[in-house]
Amino acid sequence: MRVIPPPSMAQPPDDPFVVAGSGGVVLGEARTNHEGRHALLLVRGEEDTSEFEALVATMGISVVEKIEQKGNSDPRSYFGKGRLQDVADERKSAIKEHPWAKVDLVLIHTNATPRQLVNISQTIGLELWDRVRLLLSLFTSHASSVEARTQVRIAQLQSDRTVLRELMHQQTTGERAGYGGGGVTALQNVLANVGRELANLRRRQVRQTNAQREHRRQRVRSGAVTVGLIGYTNAGKSSLFRLLSGKKVLVEDQLFSTLETTVGRMEDSPRVLLADTIGFIDNIPNATLSAFKATLAEALEADLTLVLADASDPPLELERKLLTTRREVFERLYGEPVDDEFPWNDAMDPYHHSMQVVLTKIDQADEHMLDEAHATVAGLGFPPALGISAHSGDGIDALKSAILRHLFGSPSMIHVHPSVNGNGDAVERIVSDIYDQGMVTSNERDPNGTVSLTVWLTHAALEKLKARWNERIEVK
């Protein structure tokens, strides 16, 4: 993000504003392909930047140099004013052979305040991304559906509006054009346009949310049950979704390759639906996360939620990611405190959350790492975890069985008897109805024509079958 220079600074005619908004403002953030760009990374203190750099690499951006400054972050400009000016001078004086000659982007490893963003941008004079704007640019690159683009645009405008307000504050403090009268500054016009665009996008999002809610309501009325997949970004949600459903979805070893919800049926089970959705990441601001609340609702309001985590992560990294997932789901989105008494699987609690933790990528972890991963899950108060590998298939059958037990309890044995006088419905019709209502795992026919089926199905579906075929079926 580049911002408008203060009035005292001349602005070349070919150097437009680059702040989000409409009304004639050039949108630097509208660029979706950042492959091949070169950036400087500013880091304050001794912070681990590996995840941040992984996000940058996902977008094809090269970090030319990481510049560090010890001490606490400056509330006005992140780096100290003198050090920041040194960076600006070296960048401006870089000759063609200098490593910084191709740098067209500055990254700062923090969720910056509007004041910091404005001051850094005005000093260095290059496009500037903090952690939030890096995520938003990544989201913009990966947003493929109307729903995802709407959510990303809302989050982007909410973030950029704070910068516009800071710019307006700096440029209109004290005596100014229009002060005390009816004058309106250019920034006020831009801010008004941003507000109008946000209002239109939120109305569109409400329509999309209502449509999603109606689709969920219709699925519930039809007797379908839903399994939601949540977890830290790149935990393997899309890979597991593809394995369980057989449905093709984007599966990449990239952060945030999924931004919208994908719903598909679990294989061999017409009544079990799977919902794959966006991953979490640490320290996402509330306003940004809230824009995706409608997308997350598909997985969070499911009958069973699978919490995925990478078993190959070191214990401290696994703990951080699980804590992030727990915090984002329950403490921020639901507003519920989480402690040892949290009703993870208490079916007697009307607000219970039926949940199963799944440790993915177990083929990349040895026995000691798996033991540590299970201990970490237990230490955070989650239910006992199941381990799976979407690559080798290890643990998938056990996970499928656990899903069915969570949703249906125990399977039912249903015997379908032939009609006594030969005038009733054919056995095949009744068997077809049972296949439509549940997941059949065995099917046998005896010499008398009776068909015996082992079926996983909900209590409501079983009662419907009994009412429809009361004298033709026997349930054990």
Q: Using one digit for the tens of pLDDT, what is the confidence trace for 371-382?
A: 999 999 988 888
56 Cβ contact list (under 8 Å, min separation 6): 39, 41, 63, 107, 134
Q: Angle of helix 293-300 relative to helix 186-221, nearest 10 degrees?
A: 20
Query: Do 469 and 441 share a domain, yes or no?
Result: yes
The pLDDT assigned to 248 comes to: 54
Q: Rounded mean pLDDT of 5-33?
A: 41
Q: Rounded mean pLDDT of 145-149?
A: 72
Query: Do 89 and 131 share a domain, yes or no?
Result: yes
Name the domain boundary from 157, 182, 198: 198
Is the model's pLDDT at 151 over the cut of 90?
no
The pLDDT assigned to 256 comes to: 44
Query: Do 34 and 59 share a domain, yes or no?
Result: yes
Question: Is 1 inside any structural domain?
Answer: no
Amino acid symbol at 393: G
Is the model's pLDDT at 185 over the cut of 70?
no
3-class SS string, the chain: CECCCCCCCCCCCCCCCECCCCCCCCCHHHCCCCCCCEEEEEEECCCCCHHHHHHHHHCCCEEEEEEEECCCCECCCECCHHHHHHHHHHHHCCCCCCCCCCEEEEEECCCCCHHHHHHHHHHHCCEEECHHHHHHHHHHHHCCCHHHHHHHHHHHHHHHHHHHHHHHHHHHCCCCCCCCCCCCCHHHHHHHHHHHHHHHHHHHHHHHHHHHHHHHHHHHHCCCEEEEEEEECCCCHHHHHHHHHCCCCCCCCCCCCCCCCEEEECCCCCCEEEEECCCECCCCCHHHHHCCHHHHHHHHCCCEEEEEEECCCCHHHHHHHHHHHHHHHHHHHCCCCCCCCCCCCCCCCCCCCCEEEEEECHHHCCHHHHHHHHHHHHHCCCCCCEECCCCCCCCHHHHHHHHHHHHHCCCEEEEECCCCCCCCCCHHHHHHHHHHHCEEEEEEECCCCCEEEEEECCHHHHHHHHHHCCCCEEEC
pTM: 0.71
The pLDDT assigned to 142 comes to: 64
Radius of gyration over every alpha carbon of the chain, rounded to an integer in angstroms = 28
If you average pLDDT over every residue of the chain, what do you get?
78
Confidence of residue 395 (pLDDT cuts 50, 70, 90): very high
Higher pLDDT, 306 or 12: 306
Q: Rounded mean pLDDT of 69-91?
A: 91
Query: Do 37 and 89 share a domain, yes or no?
Result: yes
Query: Do 191 and 239 share a domain, yes or no?
Result: no
Confidence of residue 445 (pLDDT cuts 50, 70, 90): very high
Query: Do 90 and 114 share a domain, yes or no?
Result: yes
Question: By residue range, what is the domain housing residue 393?
Answer: 223-408
Q: Rounded mean pLDDT of 81-101?
A: 90
Query: Do 34 and 62 share a domain, yes or no?
Result: yes
From 431, 475, 439, select the one nearest 456 (Cα to Cα): 439
The pLDDT assigned to 66 comes to: 94
Confidence of residue 152 (pLDDT cuts 50, 70, 90): confident
The pLDDT assigned to 376 comes to: 93
Query: Do 363 and 238 share a domain, yes or no?
Result: yes
The pLDDT assigned to 372 comes to: 94
Question: Is 129 inside any structural domain?
Answer: yes
Is the model's pLDDT at 347 over the cut of 90?
no
Higher pLDDT, 420 or 474: 474
Higher pLDDT, 296 or 26: 296
Min mean pLDDT across 27-31, 336-340, 427-431 is at: 27-31
Is the model's pLDDT at 175 over the cut of 80?
no
The tens digit of pLDDT for each residue in 262-315 reads 777 787 776 788 887 767 776 676 666 665 665 566 677 788 889 899 999 999
The pLDDT assigned to 288 comes to: 65
Query: What is the number of domains present in the chain?
Result: 3
